[in-house]
Amino acid sequence: MTQIFDRLPDVTDSQRAAIFSAARTSEAHAQLMRDIPAMTGLEVGGSGPDTPLAGRFSIAAWNVERCLDPEESAALLQRHDVKVALLSEMDSGMARTGQRNTVAAMAEVMGMHYAFGVEFYEMGLGGPTERHFCKDDFNARGWHGNGVLSAAPFERLALIRLDRDGHWFTGAAGQTDQPRVGGRMAVAAVLPTEAGPVCVVSTHLESNAQAPHRHAELARLLTEVEAFAGEMPVLIGGDLNTGNHMPPDYDWRQETLFALAEERGYAWSLTPDGTTTRKSLITPHPTRKMKLDWFCHRGLTGAGGQIVPALTPDDTPLSDHECLVGQVTVPASRCA
């Protein structure tokens, strides 16, 4: 059962002491996850309309890379008339993003409802290239995760955990400079439309792993989504990190998760062609081009998928990921 909070409970002083003194094992990590309420809940807020979405609406999937600029990020979505946004790598109470709740800030600009779930409690200030954005030497809350923005109210919500082994806590992820409690996850939301309910899912699969790990994460996600949504139409969007550990060409076609989803009745056709990464303020890789971001759907008609450059009007990068935008139509005959 997912707990719903107006504000996710902070890590207490005693919980923080336990985190930093714990053995770096999967067993110790599992106990920490049980002891931290925010790891099993969602923060829900915003002040959007109380009316359903149209039967056809615009949806975005975007890894906003910490969200250094919530206002400009929201403005980009507004320029494309986005009614639902599936967001990943969002901060709340992190020094590198001014201690702001970035999902809530975007929701305020756009006049939308939001749901935010914790992927990680960050034990430090982040990677080397983002620490110079920190004006404080501490994180007020330390939350980093995924969210959903919606122009319609949430009918039901669920936090879905995809990784319980503490990949980044034990050191298995190979990122010793960014210790974290938590793991990859998804936020699932049932939204009303004029054609009936639809389930949207914001997710983020593991970057520091090989294809079998992501295959297992997506398999778990599809099982949980099917239990949550039943027969209603579903759209999953996010950074699936496809091909991330397959240099030098980062060939996403070597991933097995695409066939897995197709075998279970999902399609990838709303995802536009082309790579989805770019050089950014945090990630200064001028030549590395990858296709990491996807829409995956069943029971919907998708059209007009496009890759929107993650740039402000003056060409300042907002993220190392471009934004995916597409139009979806919910067939009334598929809605129970």
Decide: helix, strand or coil at residue 107: helix
Residue 305: partners with Cβ closer than 8 Å, 6 or more residues away: 269, 270, 271, 272, 295, 324, 325, 326
Chunked in runs of 10, what are the mean pLDDT values of the chain (336 residues)? 96 97 95 96 97 98 98 98 98 98 98 98 94 96 98 98 90 78 98 98 96 97 98 98 90 96 98 96 86 98 96 98 98 62
Q: How far apart are the C-alpha atoms of 160 and 200, rounded to whole Å?
A: 13
Per residue in 63-82, is it b (16+ CB within 10 Å) or e — as a string? bbbbbbbbebbbbbbeebeb
- Amino acid 69: pLDDT: 98
- Amino acid 176: pLDDT: 66
CATH architecture of 46-334: 4-Layer Sandwich (3.60)
How many CB atoms sit inside 10 A of residue 284's CB?
A: 10
- Amino acid 90: pLDDT: 98
Residue among 76, 60, 64, 75 at smallest CA distance from 100 = 64
- Amino acid 335: pLDDT: 43
Per residue in 153-167, is it b (16+ CB within 10 Å) or e — as a string? bbeebbbbbbbbebb
- Amino acid 175: pLDDT: 65
Q: Report residue 33 as tokens.
A: 């996850």
Q: How far apart are the C-alpha atoms of 275 and 131, rounded to whole Å?
A: 27
